[in-house]
Structure 1
Amino acid sequence: MLDKRPYDRRRFLRDAAVGTAAVSTAGLVAGASAAPAQAAPVAAAGPRRSGAVSFRWWGTSGWRIDIGDRTVLVDPYLSRYDTGLFTGGFNENTPLTVDTAVVDRLVERAENILVTHTHWDHFNDVPHIAGRTGARVVGTLSAYHLGLAYGLPSGQLAPVRGGEVLDFGAYTVEVVSSLHSRNGSWSMAFPGVRVSRPPRPEKISDLPEGDTLAYQIRVDGGPSVFFMGASDFAERNLAGLAPDVAMVASAATTSTADYVPRLMAALDYPRVVVPVHWDNFETPLTNPPTVAPNDRKRLDDLIAAVRRVSPRSRVLVPEYHTAYHF
């Protein structure tokens, strides 16, 4: 299939640079289709070196990004406890708990924590990590008020709305106003926002969606990488981002029309697409990731759709903890 899209100068320069990206194929999930020969990624994941940039997937939409000796986290949910969501007995009153042994072992430091939204599978471990490491929590006003409810100081909480471009020297973080995915009833679990400091949350339903953000990290001398935490978006808000790499949430349902074609076009057809939020996040972080049958189909459908509408994109299905260098 030939790509007949016009090739402007910005795309040509970006594609030439990203064409040298090193992407590990160690994380390809068994059963997923192989990448087209002309788009085969090059394996190169090794020990982290001073000044290097690595990306490690922590399941769901969670990431650890090491930029030299500085660490940024996105939606770090590591406790992964059972709510019945994947077994047909979902309990919205499941108590919020933190598996400190797992979290503390994996997170020895963090500078910034980027929160896409405040559902438990994105926010659950954030207050503990921020309290332990002193990391700044970047998120919606709901994330700000929930952080206060957990006892974090206001100076450690950075409320954003979308449109901000935050400069941290070696990298910038662009905040993008986004949308949460829809369930089969065109609704969502636990909608709502926190407009003031609530009591300390005790159960998963105490953590509402709280509005949704996406983020783009641009590393000085390195890649620009887009992070989603849910499978919906506003096309106008993505205009001009043109990331080298896009961490794309697997569609929860078919409620969002033309999800992949619109997303790929809005992101200017990224050179590398990494599906996220397709694993069973109530199982341990051990490889290969556990995938429910319905989620396996959604993952396969996402991969097929990306390859159909953006054939020049490399698709990388990640494994847990593996260091990827783009």
Structure 2
Amino acid sequence: MVSVASLKRSTALVFAALLLFIWAICPGAAQPQTQLVWYGQSAFKLVTPAGHVLFIDPWLLNPVNKNGKNDLAQVDKADLILISHGHFDHVGQAGEIARRTGAKLVTTLDLGNALARYGGFPKDQMSYQTLGNFGGVLSFFDGEVKVALVPAVHSSHVNGKDIGATGDDEYHWGGAPAGFVIVVKGGPTIYHTGDTDLFGDMRYVPQFGKIDLMLACIGDHFTMGPARAAEAVALVDPAKVVPMHYGTFVPLMTGTPEQFASELKQRKLDGKLLLLRVGVPMTF
């Protein structure tokens, strides 16, 4: 005769096996995630569900990233480096990362040419497949990542001495500044504004796909400040917005996340605010 205790144990084992089977076949089970790390200023690392690594405006050695030297030393993989414009606080350590990893450059055609000539970026790690212009969509990794270059209202130049690439301290034209709309298959759609002011055409960005995450400059002086950034959020209407490009050039850059939060609240957009901590990964 089978005991009650034995029967309970058997039932529990069968139930556990059934749960494991359901978990294994469920389409949403254990799906790979997208990871985003902010390094301060406008520098980010994006890791796709398939494990591809993108760096955006990789100034890892900026003043608010106290772990910058270690972060840079630990970079052992990069597939793409996206640079919005030519200023040193956005080019950052792109050349060093590229030489170490073989990463390809994604930016405008004009900036790519300037970085190859004056900025120390390996020329053989850029091509018409990775360089584009506004309105164009670049596709990578069999479509896992698509990058659309969009305008930004700012300036752009390349100075080899500024970025430690050469001793050349002349300023060379870096083409028109850009932002990026990055679509990750099985992940989020991210709008990195680059350095910019508020401009009306931002309203057209979400017409070609809902923005899950907007990375918006808020520092003022060199870019839009908190109030104008909040208006940009109203135009783009992302699910979430992360403030960036603040706190580095003090006292010139006066915009703060607290001011940005207040401006969003005035516009009933405060539910969209998402604050990232430097060096702490966020997963989707």
| Common fold: TM-score over 0.5 | yes
- What is aligned with 1:178? 152
1:147 to 109, 112, 116: 116
CA shift in 2, pair 1:204/1:303, >3 Å: farther
Q: Which residue of 2 aligns with 1:318?
A: 276
Q: Distance in 1 between matches of 2:222 and 2:114?
A: 32
Residue 156 of structure 1 pairs with residue 114 of structure 2: no
Q: Distance in 2 between matches of 1:79 and 1:50?
A: 33
The equivalences for 1:59-208 within 5 A come to 59-68=40-49, 69-80=51-62, 102=70, 104-140=72-108, 141-149=110-118, 150=120, 152-157=122-127, 158-168=130-140, 169-180=143-154, 192=157, 201-202=166-167, 206=171
Larger helix proportion of the pair: 2
CA distance in 2 between partners of 1:234 and 1:316 (Å) = 22
Does the aligned pair in 2 maintain the 1:273–1:313 contact within 8 Å?
no
The C-alpha deviation readout for 1:231-272, integer Å capped at 9, x for no partner, is: 3154325504231111110141398696235312321x2121
Deviations 1:201-247 (A, max 9, x none): 43676476642111111111221111122131543255042311111
In structure 2, relative to structure 1, the CA distance for the partners of 1:303 and 1:130 (3 Å cut) is same
Partner amino acid, structure 1, of 2:115: L
What SS does the corresponding residue of 1:61 show, helix, strand or coil? coil
Letter in 2 for 1:179: V
Distance verdict in 2 for CA 1:204–1:237, change over 3 Å: farther
Inter-CA distance 122–207: structure 2 relative to 1 (3 Å threshold) = farther
Q: TM-score, normalised by structure 1?
A: 0.63
Q: More relative contact order in 1 or in 2 (CA 8 Å, sep 6+)?
A: 1
Counterpart of 2:180 in structure 1 is 215
Secondary structure of the structure 2 residue equivalent to 1:222: coil
| Local SS of the residue matching 1:278 | coil
CA contact (8 A) 2:191 2:214 kept: yes
Assess, with a 3 A threshold, how the Cα gap between structure 1 residues 116 and 310 changes in structure 2: closer, same or farther.
Answer: farther
Q: Deviations for 1:264-302, whole angstroms, at most 9, x for unmatched residues?
A: 2321x2121100011327xxxxxxxxxx47756533222
Change (3 A) 1:250 1:121: same
Residues 310/217 of structure 1: CA separation in 2 closer, same or farther (3 Å cut):
farther
Give 1:130 shift. 0.9
What SS is found at the alignment partner of 2:122?
coil
Length, aligned pairs only? 237
Identity among equivalent positions (%) equals: 22
SS of structure 2 residue aligned to 1:303:
helix
Q: CA RMSD for the aligned pairs?
A: 3.3
Pair 144,255 (structure 1): closer, same or farther in 2 beyond 3 Å: closer
For 2:151, the aligned partner's letter is S
1:130 and 1:254, CA in 2 relative to 1: closer, same or farther beyond 3 A? closer
**Counterpart contact for 1:235–1:262, Cα < 8 Å:** no
Give CA-to-partner distance per residue, 1:46-102, whole Å, 9 cap, x none.
Answer: xxx8832110001110000011311011001113379xxxxxxxxxxxxxxxx9954
Distance 1:279 1:81, change over 3 A: closer
Q: 1:129-165, CA deviations, whole angstroms, 9 ceiling, x for partnerless residues?
A: 1111111111131233222432612452533221111
Is contact 1:148–1:154 with CA below 8 Å preserved after alignment? no
- Contact 1:175 1:216 (8 Å CA) reproduced: yes
Return closer, same or farther for 1:205/1:324 CA change in 2, 3 Å cut-off. farther
Higher Cα radius of gyration = 2
- Structure 2: gaps (5+ residues): 1-29, 160-164
Structure 1 unaligned blocks of 5 or more: 1-48, 83-98, 181-187, 195-199, 282-291
Q: Does 1:302 align with 2:284?
A: no
Change (3 A) 1:121 1:222: same
